[in-house]
């Protein structure tokens, strides 16, 4: 990890922040991408104070131009990226008929288009890095990609798209030296996935989430660190991370 440069989207909180802290603690230089600049700067400062290398880069994954600028900034400040973690995402659990159209469009824009925009922006760097060193692209999907639950139609559809896109990318990029991993966490506590949505939609979803077994963001980060630290010829293509008590 001491020679690696990682980009983590959605790094302002939850799983993204935990991944950034974990990778930095193992020696990687980390670029933190999210919309909230204050959160990023605070986290970057904490990582630097702990002896790590971190760069806060405010960016919006739904805006292709914002992501292109972010890629240029990271390249200039830290060099070519060899590890991209597409973690930015939103979650809402509600019957499809209860979704206001703007909310489900936002869900699709962040969870699907956000991944596409990030890969498009950083792919040139990943391909360049893969010529000489271990290079990873990790898309954070969800167990909801192939699990049916009440109120999960829209969220599950977006994560199914991420999982399919990840598998398809591996066929395109594996022979070019980029390892592709689809990381599928189960219910994860302490995240802010539902924060952007109206309170009337958050309530039922929060109640359901509280009733389910959960893992922590730090536990997901530990698994990801294991995945990307395998020997260069080893690719863990799909990793499902769920609570031990979940059946």
Confirm whether 71 is domain-assigned: yes
CB atoms within 10 A of CB 172: 10
Residue 184: closest CA among 234, 147, 211:
147
Confirm whether 247 is domain-assigned: no
Residue 93: closest CA among 41, 21, 161, 147:
147
What is the extent of the structural domain holding 63? 5-241
91 confidence band (pLDDT: 50, 70, 90): confident
148 confidence band (pLDDT: 50, 70, 90): confident
pLDDT at 50: 96
The question of whether 99 is a catalytic residue gets the answer no
Find the catalytic residue in 104, 122, 155, 197: 155
Q: How many domains does the chain have?
A: 1
100 confidence band (pLDDT: 50, 70, 90): confident
* pLDDT digit string, tens, across residues 159-215: 999 999 999 999 999 899 999 999 999 887 755 555 554 555 555 555 555 666 678
pLDDT at 95: 77
The stretch 117-128 carries a mean pLDDT of 98
pLDDT of residue 15 exceeding 90, the answer is: yes
Instruction: Enumerate residues 6+ apart whose C-beta is below 8 A from 129.
Output: 80, 81, 82, 135
* pLDDT digit string, tens, across residues 204-243: 555 555 666 678 999 999 999 999 999 999 999 999 998 8
Instruction: Enumerate residues 6+ apart whose C-beta is below 8 A from 42.
Output: none
Residue 174: closest CA among 136, 121, 125:
136
Strands of the chain (E only): list them. 5-9, 29-34, 53-58, 83-86, 135-140, 178-185, 188-189, 215-216, 238-241
Strands of 73-221 (E only): list them. 83-86, 135-140, 178-185, 188-189, 215-216
pLDDT of residue 18 exceeding 80, the answer is: yes
Confirm whether 246 is domain-assigned: no
Confirm whether 216 is domain-assigned: yes
Residue 35: closest CA among 89, 91, 104, 72:
89
Confirm whether 157 is domain-assigned: yes
The torsion angle over the Cα atoms of residues 10, 192, 112 and 203, rounded to 10 degrees, is: -170
The CATH number that applies at residue 186 is: 3.40.50.720
Confirm whether 186 is domain-assigned: yes
Confirm whether 217 is domain-assigned: yes
DSSP character at residue 145: G
pLDDT of residue 124 exceeding 60, the answer is: yes
């Amino acid at each position: 990890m001491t020679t690696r440069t990682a980009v983590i989207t959605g790094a302002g909180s939850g799983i993204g922040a935990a991944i950034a802290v974990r990778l930095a603690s193992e020696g990687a230089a980390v670029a933190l991408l999210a919309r909230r600049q204050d959160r990023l700067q605070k986290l970057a400062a904490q990582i630097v104070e702990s002896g790590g290398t971190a760069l806060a880069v405010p960016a919006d994954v739904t805006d292709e131009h914002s992501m292109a600028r972010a890629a240029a900034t990271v390249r200039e400040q830290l060099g070519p990226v060899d590890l991209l973690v597409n973690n930015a995402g939103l979650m809402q659990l509600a019957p499809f008929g209860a979704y206001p159209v703007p909310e489900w469009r936002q869900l699709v824009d962040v969870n699907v288009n956000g991944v596409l925009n990030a890969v498009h922006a950083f792919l040139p760097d990943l391909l360049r890095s893969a010529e000489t060193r271990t290079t990873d692209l990790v898309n954070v999907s969800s167990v909801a990609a192939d699990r049916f639950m009440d109120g999960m139609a829209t969220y599950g559809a977006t994560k199914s798209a991420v999982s399919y896109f990840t598998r398809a990318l591996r066929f395109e990029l594996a022979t070019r030296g980029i390892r592709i991993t689809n990381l599928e966490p189960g219910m994860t506590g302490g995240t802010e996935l539902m924060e952007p949505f109206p309170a009337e939609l958050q309530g039922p979803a929060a109640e359901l989430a509280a009733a389910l077994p959960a893992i922590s963001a730090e536990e997901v980060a530990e698994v990801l660190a294991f995945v990307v630290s395998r020997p260069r010829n080893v690719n863990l293509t799909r990793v499902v991370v769920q609570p031990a008590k979940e059946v």
